[in-house]
Chain A
């Protein structure tokens, strides 16, 4: 029971990092300014690095000899467990920053708690990743403030991004029954603790950015169960192309 629960939990972490890293990578060569192009691809690289550590651990828990590449490139759509938020298309720069901000504000407190995990490998990955995530959150928080409290157009775009993405935020905090086992064993924290911290960060940054949370709080979920949005198939076809076309090819 514990192993299956752990497998699923770490898979969710790994897939969130992998898919968001892939999305950010799409900006390579298309950033609004050179510095941001490099920033987004640097963040992408950190996320993909974290995904490698996480998915390798998933393979180890699974015990069937799968490494991170096998897990990243050779699963079908419904076998990915990332939240819907991270697979949403990049849209404009404001939309990408908003998606990243909402995610970083969730990841930072989560990694902080996971550094104290009773599972040594999770704690080690969290310790490593936390340092990077702090940089990311700082970067995106300041962009949200600059865009929101910027020109009329940047404000409008940032608000539109928030209106669009808010509906995918609850899913980040969803918990399954088997997670409760992991919580009781001190392996993972309870999501309610993480949500409190996330809300604090998000509220204070949005307030400074003069942005308002949409009044319609209808929430979507599905990614954690393998039910993805239509955008996901296109993302996967890009991500998996080389391994599907040339099986076992090495870079």
Chain B
């Protein structure tokens, strides 16, 4: 029988379809790997309820494991609810390198009024940035622009 470690290392190669630098473990979506009733049970949790990438993630997990002759099932749990606190440190670094600002660990206070969270530009590091929209290209991201280098970028918004 394959070990849990080898399953985990195979799963390290399964990435978020929208953010291909993040593995499901980095993202905190992968919640458990267990051997139950002669098959591997992989537990995942959605980032947002309606995240359309969940089905792809499930399929990608099964595809990866089946490719290696491993029987598995994917189980989706809602509780405890996903939070950006589960994003790994290496995941945060990878996000930044990829051009997406990692969560600032502060929930957005305001949409239209008061100062939104300061999110440094992932390209030039400037703190002179502005939020263009609290809702971005996917449910988990907001849209920002750097006022120093003018780069528009995504911010992986903080969810607690």
Chain B residues lying within 8 Å of A49, measured Cβ to Cβ, are 46, 48-51
Chain A residue at smallest Cβ distance from B76: A53
Residue of A nearest to B77 (CB): A124
Residue of A43, A45, A123, A139 near B52 (CB, 8 A) is A45
Chain B residues near A52 (CB-CB < 8 A) = 49-50
Complex CA gap A50/B48 in Å reads: 9
Asked whether A146 is an interface residue with its Cβ less than 8 Å from the other chain, the reply is: yes
A45 x B48 contact (CB < 8 A): yes
Contact with A along B135-160 (1 / 0, CB 8 A): 11101000100000000000000011
Residues of B1-56 contacting chain A, CB below 8 A: 46, 48-52
Given the known inter-chain contacts A38-B133, A38-B136, A128-B81, please indicate yes or no for A45 contacting B111, CB distance below 8 A.
no
Query: CA A37 – CA B135 in complex, angstroms?
Result: 9
Q: A128 CA to B80 CA in the complex, in Å?
A: 8
B113 and A142 contacting across the interface, CB-CB below 8 Å = yes
A43 to B132 alpha-carbon distance, docked (Å): 17
The size class of the interface chain B forms with chain A is 20 to 34
State A45–B113 Cα separation when bound (angstroms). Answer: 25
B108 on interface, CB distance cutoff 8 Å = yes
Nearest Cβ distance between residue A81 and chain B, in whole angstroms? 20
The one of A129, A139, A142 that contacts B49, using a Cβ cutoff of 8 Å: A129
Contacts of B139 in A (CB 8 A): 42, 45-46
- How many residues of chain A are within 8 Å of chain B by beta carbon? 34
Contact A127 B80 (CB under 8 A): yes
List B contacts of A75 (CB < 8 A): none
B134: interface (CB < 8 Å): yes
Number of A-B contacts (CB under 8 A): 83
Interface of B is mostly: loop
| A47 contacts partner chain B, Cβ-Cβ < 8 Å | yes
Q: In the bound complex, do residue A131 and residue B159 qualify as a contact, i.e. CB atoms below 8 Å apart?
A: yes
- Taken together as a complex, chains A and B put the C-alpha atoms of A130 and B81 apart, in Å, by 10
Point out the residues of chain B lying under 8 angstroms from A45, CB to CB. Answer: 48, 50-52, 139
Find out whether the CB atom of B79 lies under 8 angstroms from the CB atom of A50.
no
Q: How far is the CA of A39 from the CA of B138 in the complex (A)?
A: 10
On chain A, the residues within 8 Å of B111 by CB distance are 138-139, 142-143
A58 to B38, CA, bound (A): 30
Q: With an 8 A cutoff between CB atoms, is A35 at the interface?
A: yes
Q: 10 tightest A-B contacts by CB?
A: A49-B50, A49-B49, A35-B133, A124-B79, A45-B50, A39-B135, A124-B78, A42-B135, A142-B112, A128-B81
Task: For the A-B complex with A46-B49, A128-B81, A131-B160 known, give 19 more contacts whose Cβ atoms are closer than 8 Å.
Answer: A21-B50, A39-B135, A42-B139, A43-B135, A45-B48, A46-B139, A47-B50, A49-B46, A49-B49, A53-B49, A120-B79, A127-B80, A131-B81, A131-B83, A131-B159, A139-B135, A142-B111, A143-B112, A145-B113
